[in-house]
Amino acid sequence: MKKKRNRQIIYCIFLAVLILMGLFLKKKSDRIQAVNSQNAVSEQAEEKSELEQEEELPPRVALTFDDGPHRIYTKNLLDGLRERGVKATFFVVGENIPGNEDLIRQMEADGHLIGNHTYNHADISKLSDEENCRELQKTSDLVKEITGHGTAYVRPPFGNWKDTMDCRVTMISVKWTIDTLDWKSKNVTEIIGKVMQQISDHDIILMHDYYETSVEAALQIVDRLQQEGYEFVTVEDLILE
């Protein structure tokens, strides 16, 4: 009888231990599930936040101008861009700088990027590397005398670049994705239409600040694209993004 009672007591104790262990493991499991669930919610929230931030970023484009500075038209353009809080990129021709140093200073003061378009608007593909280096260096030196630094980017006239020049200069060659052909049409409506039909995020727009129609069209393009939520940046901003 006594042995039987002892066995019953041991059995009850064993059963109680099992029940307590079960309760402990269940609580631990519930706690782990709660933590995992919380982590999953947190990760989803972070992913959603990152996605929302990406979606909120405005499309960015670079407005670029070749052949200047022009005493009248570049000045009008710079004033118009300043009023709109827009940054652009100017690929200047060296021979046009003397007498227009104040325009180069205004470009620098307003945060525009000043690039190199050679000294004589030279076709790089038709000159020796030595001649091309002189063309680029002469313009860069003029810009440095005015701003304190040379040009880091070059827009080769006619879009012609030679691979051998990559080993001769440290400047980065920059082309474009939208050619307005503003120099050819000199038609404000046509120039604007070309841009509005093709524009998309990260485009580089080619224009010239050497024609009145180009300047008028450029400022209207800025107004329209700003209304559509576009942000204007320099080509350096796009490249370094």
Give, in order, the Cα–Cα distances in Å from 38 to each of 28, 41, 43: 15, 5, 9
Q: What is the CATH number of domain 60-240?
A: 3.20.20.370
Instruction: Report the alpha-carbon distance of residue 221 to residue 209 in Å, rounded.
Output: 14
Residue 163: the pLDDT is: 86
Query: Which two tokens mark 1?
Result: 């009888």
pTM (2 d.p.): 0.78
**DSSP secondary structure string, 90-155?**
EEE-GGG-TT-HHHHHHHHHTTPEEEE--SS---GGGS-HHHHHHHHHHHHHHHHHHHSS--SEE-
Instruction: Report the alpha-carbon distance of residue 240 to residue 157 in Å, rounded.
Output: 23
Q: How confident is the model over 134-147, as pLDDT tens digits?
A: 999 999 999 999 99
Residue 31: the pLDDT is: 60
The segments of the chain whose pLDDT lies below 70 read 1-55
Burial class of residue 98, CB neighbours in 10 A (0-12, 13-18, 19+): exposed
- Cα 19 vs. chain centroid, distance in angstroms? 64
Residue 131: the pLDDT is: 96
Let me know if 208 is a catalytic residue. yes
Instruction: Report the alpha-carbon distance of residue 135 to residue 25 in Å, rounded.
Output: 80
Residue 41: the pLDDT is: 52
Q: Are 76 and 65 within 8 A, CB to CB?
A: no
Q: How confident is the model over 6-17, as pLDDT tens digits?
A: 555 555 565 555
The three-point CA angle 37-39-41 to 5° equals 70
Which of 66, 182, 203, 209 is catalytic? The answer is: 66
Let me know if 182 is a catalytic residue. no
Q: Which helix (H) or strand (E) holds 232?
A: strand 231-233
Which of 67, 112, 208, 209 is catalytic? The answer is: 208
Residue 166: the pLDDT is: 80
Whether omega before 156 lies within 30 degrees of 0, making that bond cis, reads: no
Q: Where are the domains of the chain?
A: 1-57, 60-240
Please tell me what DSSP assigns to residue 222.
H
